[in-house]
């Protein structure tokens, strides 16, 4: 009798069992399939907070995955350590012919996977990387001249033109009958403390089942998404950014649902394409991790003050919409997309602080942190990136506050000292009612917007005039 052909599925950013590219490919090609996750010590060692929400989200999602696999006669193997050592070692122990994983486009992931592929090949094992976290892979689309896209609108048009729903959006169903039993000698999911972390309170329920519920509850709101998505006090967004980040839902399913809504789903589809545009930028230009996309800004000296940065981090700038957004981030690990643009513009254009400091702070705090989108968003706000906001367009935090939180509902939620202010005064308390502002204990504005805008224009325009 011929021996069974075995494969290992290494889950990374695809923490689900439905519509999972790697799991589907492996179970339809091999007789016995094992499933593993690895806590990467290189990533975990860099996290400053033992209560990191992302680790808690991953850990609880893995619990759901393990329960599913056990119902099908298998279980999740959970490793901890150096992936370049642990994955080849596990593959050898299990005697698999191939290791399957969803392709990741971050520079570290690309380098890591290259090394793992080489080490697996030494033992004649294949490393099969499959498309999963995007619909259109980075580097797949080019302009008519053959160059990489630098501007979103033509990228989005090319993305739509190349889309083949039957090929790109079909649901990838695994054959769970191929899942193999796992011996007790292999490591299983342990309490989170055993990985050096503590359980953190989460704003969102982790796991695949919760993600699917979020998508289902969002579908009826799609018809108003374009109208409601910019208002942080309303529930007008999908809330799926963390699920897309860790793969507790498939991006293909999200795109399918958006397209099912026809024109009503077009705006959300555009936002999903923005995510892939930033993946394309990161893959084609990995220098953006530490450098500006536009070289003329790379040597720019940002003159902002450190105490202003600390006030921004703490939500103590004296600008209510900025402070409410930062306090929400610090408390929950989440920030509404409109608010991300407002606080990023404020840090770079009002406080004149290097965008990289803000990007790093978000990288530490955001539950849905994704390198490509975080970097792209910050460089957009700072006017240093691909398809960035033109340097002369600077958000006015007061006007943004009045337009997108008109009645001050979001501000009241996160700045209790301003809760009693009327809907006009709450946006600018020190200017409109200084006596009450003093009594409230809310800080004075640390900068004057008009003055800082002029400084920002001078700073950024001078950089553009410098030869590179």
Q: Is it the case that residue 466 has pLDDT exceeding 60? A: no
pLDDT of residue 241: 97
- 124 lies in the same domain as 138: no
| % of the chain beyond a pLDDT of 90 | 95
- Mean pLDDT, residues 182-186 taken together: 95
- Each residue's pLDDT tens digit, 233-243: 998 999 999 99
Q: 201 in a domain, yes or no?
A: no
Q: Which of 132, 157, 192 is the last residue of a domain?
A: 132
- The chain-wide mean pLDDT, for the chain, equals 96
Q: 223 in a domain, yes or no?
A: yes
Task: Check if the beta carbon of residue 188 is closer than 8 Å to that of residue 77.
Answer: yes
Task: Check if the beta carbon of residue 93 is closer than 8 Å to that of residue 87.
Answer: no
- 278 lies in the same domain as 358: no
Q: 290 in a domain, yes or no?
A: no
Reported confidence tier of residue 465, pLDDT bands at 50, 70, 90 = low
Q: 179 in a domain, yes or no?
A: no
- 248 lies in the same domain as 333: no
- Mean pLDDT, residues 9-14 taken together: 98
- 128 lies in the same domain as 270: no
- Each residue's pLDDT tens digit, 283-322: 999 999 999 999 999 999 999 999 999 999 999 999 999 9
pLDDT of residue 3: 57
pTM (predicted TM-score): 0.95
pLDDT of residue 235: 87
pLDDT of residue 467: 46
- 151 lies in the same domain as 219: yes
Q: 186 in a domain, yes or no?
A: no
Task: Check if the beta carbon of residue 117 is closer than 8 Å to that of residue 88.
Answer: no
- Each residue's pLDDT tens digit, 39-65: 999 999 999 999 999 999 999 999 999
Q: 394 in a domain, yes or no?
A: yes
SS3 content of the chain, % helix, strand, coil (to 5): 55, 5, 40
- 261 lies in the same domain as 145: yes
pLDDT of residue 1: 35
Q: 385 in a domain, yes or no?
A: yes
- 251 lies in the same domain as 300: no
pLDDT of residue 377: 97
- 20 lies in the same domain as 127: yes
pLDDT of residue 135: 98
- Mean pLDDT, residues 197-217 taken together: 97
Domain enclosing residue 117, as ranges = 6-132
- Mean pLDDT, residues 148-163 taken together: 96
Q: Which of 219, 253, 284 is the last residue of a domain?
A: 284
Task: Go through 269-297 and write b for each residue having 16 or more CB atoms within 10 A of its CB, e for each that does not.
Answer: bbbbbbbbbbbbbbbbebebeebbbbeeb
The CATH code of the domain that includes 62 is: 3.40.50.620
- 299 lies in the same domain as 280: no
Q: 107 in a domain, yes or no?
A: yes
- Which residue, among 356, 371, 351, has the nearest Cα to 310 in the 3D structure? 351
Q: Is it the case that residue 4 has pLDDT exceeding 80? A: no
Q: Is it the case that residue 157 has pLDDT exceeding 80? A: yes
- 323 lies in the same domain as 437: yes
Q: Which of 284, 315, 333 is the last residue of a domain?
A: 284
Q: Is it the case that residue 164 has pLDDT exceeding 50? A: yes
- Each residue's pLDDT tens digit, 346-395: 999 999 999 999 999 999 999 999 999 999 999 999 999 998 888 899 99
- 141 lies in the same domain as 280: yes
- 31 lies in the same domain as 74: yes
Question: Position of tokens 């294949």?
Answer: 126
DSSP string, 20-77: -HHHHHHHHH-SEEEEEEEEEHHHHTT---TT-HHHHHHHHHHHHHHHHHHHTT--EE
Total structural domains within the chain: 3
Q: Which residues are catalytically annotated? A: 271, 274, 302, 337, 355, 378
The CATH code of the domain that includes 229 is: 1.25.40.80
Q: Is it the case that residue 114 has pLDDT exceeding 90? A: yes
DSSP string, 390-444: PTT----HHHHHHHHSTT-HHHHHH-GGGTTS-TTGGGSHHHH-HHHHHHHTPPP
Distance CA 252, CA 244 (A): 10
Report the SS3 class of residue 79. strand
């Amino acid at each position: 009798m011929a021996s069974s052909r075995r494969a290992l599925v290494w889950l990374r950013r695809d923490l689900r069992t439905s519509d999972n590219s790697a799991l589907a490919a492996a179970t339809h090609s091999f007789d016995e399939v094992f499933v593993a996750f690895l806590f990467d010590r290189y990533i975990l060692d860099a996290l400053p907070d033992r209560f990191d929400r992302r680790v808690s989200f991953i850990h609880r999602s893995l619990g759901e995955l393990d329960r599913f696999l056990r119902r099908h006669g298998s279980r999740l193997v959970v490793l901890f350590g150096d992936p370049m050592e642990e994955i080849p070692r596990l593959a050898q122990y299990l005697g698999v012919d191939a290791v399957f994983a969803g392709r990741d486009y971050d520079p570290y992931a690309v380098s890591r996977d290259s090394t793992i592929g080489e080490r697996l090949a030494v033992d004649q094992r294949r490393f099969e990387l499959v498309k999963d976290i995007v619909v259109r892979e980075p580097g797949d689309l080019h302009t008519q001249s053959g160059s990489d896209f630098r501007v979103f609108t033509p990228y989005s048009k090319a993305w739509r033109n190349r889309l083949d729903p039957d090929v790109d959006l079909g649901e990838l169903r695994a054959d769970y009958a191929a899942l193999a039993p796992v011996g007790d000698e292999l490591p299983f999911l342990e309490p989170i403390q055993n990985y050096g972390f503590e359980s953190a309170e989460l704003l969102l329920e982790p796991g695949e089942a919760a993600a699917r519920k979020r998508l289902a509850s969002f579908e009826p709101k799609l018809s108003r998404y374009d109208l409601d998505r910019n208002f942080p006090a309303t529930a007008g967004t999908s809330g799926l950014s963390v699920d897309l980040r860790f793969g507790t839902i498939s991006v293909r399913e999200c795109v399918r649902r958006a397209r099912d809504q026809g024109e009503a789903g077009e705006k959300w589809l555009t936002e999903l394409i923005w995510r892939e545009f930033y993946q394309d930028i990161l893959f084609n230009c990995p220098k953006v991790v530490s450098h500006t996309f536009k070289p003329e800004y790379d040597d720019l000296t940002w003159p902002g003050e450190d105490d202003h940065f600390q006030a921004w981090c703490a939500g103590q700038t004296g600008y209510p919409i900025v402070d409410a957004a930062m306090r929400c981030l610090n408390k929950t690990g989440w920030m509404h997309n409109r608010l991300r643009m407002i606080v990023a513009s404020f840090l770079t254009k009002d406080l004149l602080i290097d965008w990289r400091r803000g990007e790093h702070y978000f990288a530490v705090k955001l539950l849905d942190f994704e390198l490509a989108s975080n970097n792209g968003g910050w460089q957009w706000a700072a006017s240093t990136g691909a398809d960035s906001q033109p340097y002369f367009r600077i958000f006015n935090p007061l006007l943004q506050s009045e337009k997108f939180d008109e009645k001050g509902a979001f501000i009241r939620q996160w700045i209790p000292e301003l809760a009693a202010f009327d809907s006009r005064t709450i946006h600018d308390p020190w200017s409109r009612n200084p006596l009450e502002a003093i009594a409230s204990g809310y800080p004075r504005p640390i900068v004057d917007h008009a003055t800082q805008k002029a400084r920002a224009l001078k700073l950024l325009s001078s950089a553009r005039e410098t030869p590179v």
